[in-house]
């Protein structure tokens, strides 16, 4: 027999493929073996036999005391699968339950004991009923769980389970409610009485038990509803709401009860009330009028709550859109409430689009208006309605639709056929808007470029400008139109010329040929054109290097903020703009801090000698303006270890609350090796600096041995994470000796 069992010890997969069924007697003998592997195999095979293993019950009971955990697991599984024929094991299982602990691994142990007792059935009920009155939490909880598996046959336990609904232990209360629910209709009378108990936990538990019961408990729903109306305690209200929702209680009646509770001080009550509303089908629409009344009130709190839950309902709350719009336009509405209304309109989605468009139409083109932001967030949801607008014969509707489609970019791709039609056949303002929107929607250059070039030849400045703007939208795809755009730099209308410059800047490497004409355009008198040209040169970068002399010459003759734009464009050319470094250096002492900061960034982008770059950035760290110091820190961070000569000054900045975080990040990236500097940092006022210094010293190993005394001082630091860093570093330094 032993040889037979040994032969069976193998992979899990091999067990399932064994055609030969072992004899029960052999397996019982295997349970008595001194070899744990044989006991494991025997117990496993018994656990697979179900009721056929009933003759092994006495030996399986003994195996519950086996020190080998797998044997215990297999044995209790075998007893559970044997079922009622394992009744003799009840005392041993009760004893196991009494010995069980709580938490982690023990949860599984208690679960399996309870499952085995429940599988044995009514023969275990007397012992389980006694256990419900035990002075040990694990006994009461485990007994209730076991009874839940026995179900309707456990009617004798009802009274004790109802009593335990008020148990001091929440797990006992929860398992008792589950057991009562599984027992079923026989428990209803006592549960209905429990709803009127003077004890809050009993009322809450009775509601939970009725929820567990499900369909049979629907007859108790009116009494549960009456209990909710009378309930004063939030701890009982929440489970009552949840149970009524799950029992599909009359939606209209439930709404009358739960809508006022949306403003409860209890988070759990608010959550259950909102879930009840959201889960009602089709009663979500029934709740809309009630929530709409809240939005229509003058109470800020009610408006916010009503808007929040209307948003949760989504498109079915379309009828509330006018109320939400009206509430949004109230002058006294707080930011918190307006945010809730905006979110609700976005969540309602497409049904809110027409009303939002009407609001947008009255904004006078304000691109930051809340209605515009909502439409932008709606994105593709707004497109079908906008396509309808494009297909109308009303130019105002068409313009509104075009404005919205321009907000959503390539999410408007499904509107491209209609946009192309209007860009070709529309009149005036509609045609111009359709062309730029066509480009932003992602239409192919083959479609956009011919239309845009034709627009550039128009007699109407607005049409020419729309052509340039459309070409700017498609970026490098507009390279075929570069000659037309260069010609447009000479347009009599400065807005057209500026738009052509912007489009040239988007052309990428192919735009290098436009550098000369862009510089020539700087001779024009209009500031708008100057700004667009300088920005375009910066976008082209190194391919526009021929513009460096002109920009360098222009720099000292301009004032902020245009001066800053010139500096940024020179920086964008990188090393190609090295001739501009002397002029940029002069501007490091100008009065405008923003320009000085731009010069720091630009010089770091242009300078190729790392030593000169670090020296310049070190000097900038002494600037009085934070914006300049931050710019220098950011550029030093890009240099990694090469920035180490600036470590001293960066460390000094860690004592400042304004630049501490950025300076510390750069120090961490350069992996400072200066032990004296790191030792000084151990005394920094900021705990994160102290932590960094300690960690870095640990990384240096024996080279940081001189820091040991100061690291030991940090073992008494008030911050635990600093202590841990110091302790770890001391170990690393000691280990590396």
With respect to residue 145, please indicate whether it lies within any of the assigned structural domains.
no
pLDDT tens-digit series, residues 315-342:
989 999 999 999 998 876 788 999 999 9
266: DSSP letter: -
The more confidently predicted of residues 108 and 407 is 407
Per-residue confidence at 99, pLDDT binned at 50, 70, 90? Answer: confident
Q: Domain tally for the chain?
A: 4
Q: Is a pLDDT exceeding 50 seen at residue 14? A: no
Rounded CA-CA distance 15/8 in Å is 7
Q: Is a pLDDT exceeding 70 seen at residue 13? A: no
pLDDT of residue 282: 56
Rounded CA-CA distance 577/553 in Å is 13
How far is Cα of residue 127 from the mean position of the Cα atoms in its chain? 50
Q: How many residues does the chain have?
A: 737
Mean pLDDT of 422-442: 94
pLDDT of residue 629: 95
pLDDT tens-digit series, residues 263-288:
888 888 888 887 887 776 654 566 78
Residue finishing a domain among 564, 586, 602: 564
Per-residue confidence at 253, pLDDT binned at 50, 70, 90? Answer: confident
Rounded CA-CA distance 426/481 in Å is 23
| Alpha-helical regions (H) of 607-625 | 610-620
**Contact status, residue 247 vs residue 218, Cβ threshold 8 Å:** yes
Rounded CA-CA distance 63/32 in Å is 9
pLDDT of residue 16: 46
Per-residue confidence at 656, pLDDT binned at 50, 70, 90? Answer: confident
With respect to residue 345, please indicate whether it lies within any of the assigned structural domains.
no
Q: Is the pTM of this model over 0.85?
A: no
pLDDT of residue 1: 47
pLDDT of residue 521: 96
**Contact status, residue 454 vs residue 486, Cβ threshold 8 Å:** no
pLDDT of residue 254: 85
Q: Is a pLDDT exceeding 50 seen at residue 9? A: no
- Residue 123 neighbours by CB distance under 10 Å: 17
**Contact status, residue 511 vs residue 540, Cβ threshold 8 Å:** yes
Per-residue confidence at 102, pLDDT binned at 50, 70, 90? Answer: low
pLDDT of residue 11: 40
Residue 464's closest CA among 439, 495, 440, 442?
495
Q: Is a pLDDT exceeding 70 seen at residue 314? A: yes
pLDDT tens-digit series, residues 125-181:
999 999 999 999 999 999 999 999 999 999 999 999 999 999 999 999 999 999 999
52: DSSP letter: G
Rounded CA-CA distance 604/646 in Å is 14
Rounded CA-CA distance 40/51 in Å is 19
Secondary structure of 110-145 in the HEC alphabet?
A: HHHHHHHHHHHHHHHHHHHHHHCCCCCHHHHHHHHH
Structure token pair of residue 400? 């509104």
Q: CATH code at 58?
A: 1.25.10.10
With respect to residue 215, please indicate whether it lies within any of the assigned structural domains.
yes
How far is Cα of residue 308 from the mean position of the Cα atoms in its chain? 19
Q: Is a pLDDT exceeding 50 seen at residue 36? A: yes
| Alpha-helical regions (H) of 350-474 | 353-361, 370-378, 383-390, 395-408, 416-425, 428-440, 445-456, 461-474
% of the chain beyond a pLDDT of 70? 95
Rounded CA-CA distance 206/190 in Å is 9
Rounded CA-CA distance 548/515 in Å is 10
pLDDT of residue 12: 37
Residue 204: C-alpha distances to residues 198, 199, 239, 250, 411 (Å): 11, 9, 6, 20, 50
pLDDT of residue 716: 93
Q: Is a pLDDT exceeding 90 seen at residue 234? A: yes
Q: CATH code at 269?
A: 1.25.40
pLDDT of residue 15: 47
Mean pLDDT of 90-111: 80
With respect to residue 730, please indicate whether it lies within any of the assigned structural domains.
yes
With respect to residue 430, please indicate whether it lies within any of the assigned structural domains.
no
- Mean of all residue pLDDT scores within the chain: 90
Per-residue confidence at 357, pLDDT binned at 50, 70, 90? Answer: very high
Residue showing tokens 């209009």 = 526
State which H helix or E strand residue 566 sits in: helix 562-572
**Cα dihedral sign, 539-541-543-546:** positive
pLDDT of residue 285: 61
Per-residue confidence at 105, pLDDT binned at 50, 70, 90? Answer: low
With respect to residue 527, please indicate whether it lies within any of the assigned structural domains.
yes
pLDDT of residue 284: 54
Residue finishing a domain among 61, 82, 103: 82
Residue finishing a domain among 82, 114, 132: 82
Structure token pair of residue 654? 């860690």
pLDDT tens-digit series, residues 495-522:
999 999 999 999 988 889 999 999 999 9
Rounded CA-CA distance 106/574 in Å is 65
Task: Show the domain range for 495.
Answer: 444-564
pLDDT of residue 109: 86
**Contact status, residue 97 vs residue 110, Cβ threshold 8 Å:** yes
With respect to residue 119, please indicate whether it lies within any of the assigned structural domains.
no
With respect to residue 542, please indicate whether it lies within any of the assigned structural domains.
yes
Rounded CA-CA distance 197/210 in Å is 15
């Amino acid at each position: 027999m032993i040889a037979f069992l040994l032969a069976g010890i193998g992979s899990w997969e091999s067990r399932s493929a064994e055609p030969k069924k072992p004899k029960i007697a052999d397996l019982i003998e295997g349970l008595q073996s001194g070899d744990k592997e044989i006991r494991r195999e025997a117990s496993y095979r018994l656990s697979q036999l179900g009721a056929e293993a009933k003759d092994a019950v006495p030996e399986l009971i003994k195996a519950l005391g086996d020190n080998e955990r797998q044997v215990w697991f297999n044995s209790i599984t075998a007893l559970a699968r044997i079922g009622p024929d394992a009744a003799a094991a009840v005392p041993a299982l009760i004893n196991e339950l009494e010995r069980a602990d709580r938490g982690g691994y023990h949860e599984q142990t208690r679960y399996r004991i309870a499952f085995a007792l429940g599988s044995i059935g009514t023969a275990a009920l007397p012992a389980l009923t006694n256990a419900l009155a035990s002075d040990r939490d694990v006994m009461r909880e485990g007994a209730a769980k076991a009874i839940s598996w026995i179900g309707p046959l456990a009617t004798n336990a009802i009274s004790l389970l109802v009593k335990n609904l008020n148990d001091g232990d929440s797990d006992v209360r929860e398992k008792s409610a589950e057991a009562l629910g599984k027992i079923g209709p026989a428990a209803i009378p006592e549960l209905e009485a429990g709803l009127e108990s003077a004890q809050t936990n009993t009322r809450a538990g009775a509601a939970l038990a009725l929820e567990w019961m499900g369909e049979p408990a629907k007859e108790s729903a009116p009494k549960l509803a009456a209990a909710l109306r009378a309930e004063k305690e939030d701890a009982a209200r929440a489970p009552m709401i949840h149970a009524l929702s799950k029992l599909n209680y009359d939606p209209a009646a439930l709404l009358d009860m739960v809508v006022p509770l949306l403003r409860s001080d209890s988070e759990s009550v608010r959550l259950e009330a909102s879930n009840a509303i959201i889960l009602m089908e089709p009663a979500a629409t029934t709740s809309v009028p009630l929530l709409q009344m809240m939005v229509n009130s003058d109470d800020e709190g009610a408006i916010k709550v009503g808007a929040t839950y209307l948003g949760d309902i989504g498109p079915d709350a379309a009828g509330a859109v006018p109320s939400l719009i009206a509430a949004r336009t109230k002058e006294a509405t707080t930011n918190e409430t307006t945010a809730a209304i905006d979110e609700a309109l976005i969540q309602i989605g497409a049904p809110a689009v027409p009303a939002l468009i009407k609001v947008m139409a009255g904004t006078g083109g304000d691109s930051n208006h809340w209605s515009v932001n909502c439409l932008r967030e709606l994105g593709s949801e707004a497109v079908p309605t906008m396509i309808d607008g494009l297909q109308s014969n009303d130019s105002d509707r068409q313009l509104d639709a075009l404005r919205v489609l321009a907000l959503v970019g390539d999410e408007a791709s499904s509107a491209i056929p209609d946009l192309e039609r209007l860009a070709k056949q529309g009149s005036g303002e509609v045609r111009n808007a359709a062309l730029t929107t066509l480009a932003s929607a992602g239409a192919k250059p083959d479609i956009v470029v011919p239309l845009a070039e034709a627009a550039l030849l128009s007699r109407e400045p607005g049409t020419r400008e729309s052509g340039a703007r459309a070409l700017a939208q498609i970026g490098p795809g507009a390279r075929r139109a570069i000659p037309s755009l260069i010609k447009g730099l000479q347009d009599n209308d400065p807005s057209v010329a500026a738009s052509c410059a912007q489009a040239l800047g988007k052309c990428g490497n192919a735009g290098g040929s436009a550098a000369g004409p862009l510089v020539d355009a700087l001779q024009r008198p209009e500031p708008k054109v100057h700004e667009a040209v300088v920005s375009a040169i910066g976008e082209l970068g190194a391919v526009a290097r021929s513009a460096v002399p002109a920009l360098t010459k222009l720099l000292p003759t301009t004032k902020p903020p245009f001066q800053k734009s010139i500096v940024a464009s020179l920086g964008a050319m990188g090393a190609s703009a090295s001739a501009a470094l002397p002029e940029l250096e002069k501007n490091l002492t100008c009065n405008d801090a923003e320009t000085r900061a731009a010069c720091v960034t630009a010089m770091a982008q242009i300078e190729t000698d790392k030593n000169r770059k670090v020296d310049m950035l070190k000097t900038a760290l002494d600037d009085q303006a934070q914006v300049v110091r931050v710019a220098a820190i950011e550029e030093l961070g890009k240099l990694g270890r090469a920035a180490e000569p600036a470590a001293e000054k960066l460390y000094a900045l860690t004592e400042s609350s304004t630049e501490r975080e950025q300076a510390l990040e750069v120090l961490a990236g350069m992996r400072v090796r200066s032990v004296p500097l790191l030792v000084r940092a151990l005394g920094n006022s900021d705990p994160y600096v102290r932590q960094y210094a300690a960690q870095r010293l640990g990384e240096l190993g024996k080279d940081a041995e001189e820091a040991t005394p100061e690291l030991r001082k940090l073992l008494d630091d008030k911050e635990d994470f600093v202590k841990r860093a110091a302790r770890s570093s001391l170990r690393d330094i000691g280990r590396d000796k």
